[in-house]
Structure 1
Amino acid sequence: MRRDSGAVEYRIRPVQTAVPVAAGIALAIGILYVVLQFTADPMSASELRTCLCAAVAGVLGVMVLPGARGARLTDEHLVVLAISGRRERQIRWTDITGIEVRTSVGVRRVRVALASGEQLTLPAPMSFLDRHFDPHVGQLTGWWQARRQPPGRNRRT
């Protein structure tokens, strides 16, 4: 979470991306190794080492790529940040009709319901490797509740 000039920002940390990528690569290499054991030309230790080095390089690459995916809370908008950090989607607080936490494959994420009927899952916060997920969701919900009334109308407390 980052705070700048009154805004609060949640971002996906590199480890939250790298761990699933590393697990997937390790699983793929393991399956490949087992399958190749049953062929006429099994994988040698040198080939396995090359695969593992490529996997490590891939995981390190994922960790250093600019990954500005996340969400920013401002007084007027909920801003959804794209993977490059350059594209943003600004959603007025008054256009949000509900916020809920959904679980998929054991990972809890925030889903935002919009007045247009669209359901949007935020990239961050996400519970995977984030001890502060529940306080972040509470803060996000608090911002929405405090700002969901159009300007000039009495705000509920």
Structure 2
Amino acid sequence: MRRREQGVEFRVGTAQMAVPLVLGMALATGLLFLGLRWTADPMTAAELRDCAYAAGAGVLGALVLARPTGVRLTPGHLVTFAPFGRQERRISWADVSGIAVRRTFGVTSVHISLVTGERLTLPAPMSFLDRRFVGRVGELTRWWETHRP
């Protein structure tokens, strides 16, 4: 959580991004190794090492190139921003009709409902590897209650 002059920012942490990437790449490399183990031309230890290096370089590249994902709370808006230069979205507090916390696949995240009927899942805060999740949700709710008309 970052405090700024005009508001508060919640970002997805490096560990929250890295752990799923590393586990996914390790699983993919392991499945590739097992798949090639029973073919006519099994993978050697050197080829497995090269594959693991390439997977590690891919994870590092994704972490270095990715812009942080998160939410910025300002007095007038809730602003979501996404990685890889995707457009940020500004949502007026007057357009937010509700905030709910939902659990999906063991990870709790924040969902907002808009007056148009649209529902959005916020990129941050999320409970995966975040010990301050409950406090952040409370702060987000207080901002909405304070700044809505």
Same fold (TM over 0.5): yes
Structure 2, unmatched stretches of 5+, are none
Distance 2:13 2:103 in 1: 19
Structure 2 counterpart SS, 1:99: strand
CA distance in 1, matches of 2:66, 2:38: 41
| Structure 1 moving runs of 4+ over 4 Å | none
2:80 corresponds to 1:80: yes
Task: Tell me the amino acid that sits aligned with residue 36 of structure 2.
Answer: L
1:152 is aligned to none
- Distance apart, 1:4 and its partner CA: 1.2
Q: How many residues align?
A: 149
What SS does the aligned partner of 2:49 have?
A: helix
Aligned to 2:28: 28
SS at 1:108's partner residue? strand
In structure 2, C-alpha distance between the alignment counterparts of 1:67 and 1:125, rounded to whole Å: 16
Aligned to 1:127: 127
- The CA RMSD measured in Å over matched residues stands at 1.3
- Residue in 2 aligned with 1:57? 57
Q: Larger Cα Rg: Structure 1 or Structure 2?
A: 1
Helix, strand or coil: the match of 1:68? coil
Question: What is the letter of the counterpart of residue 136 of structure 1?
Answer: R
State TM-score, norm by structure 1: 0.90
Correspondence for 2:19: 19
Unaligned runs of 5+ in 1: 150-157
Matched to 1:16, the amino acid is Q
User: 1:69 & 1:2 partners in 2: Cα distance?
Assistant: 13
Instruction: After superposition, give the CA deviation of every residue in 1:97-156 in whole Å (9 maximum; x if it has no partner).
Output: 10011111111111000000000111111111111111000000011011122xxxxxxx
Q: Which of 105-114 and 13-22 deviates more? A: 13-22
Compute the TM-score of the two structures, normalised by the length of structure 2.
Answer: 0.94
Structure 1 contact 68–85 (Cα < 8 Å) conserved: no
1:80 deviates by 0.9
2:90 corresponds in structure 1 to 90
Q: Distance in 1 between matches of 2:85 and 2:43?
A: 41
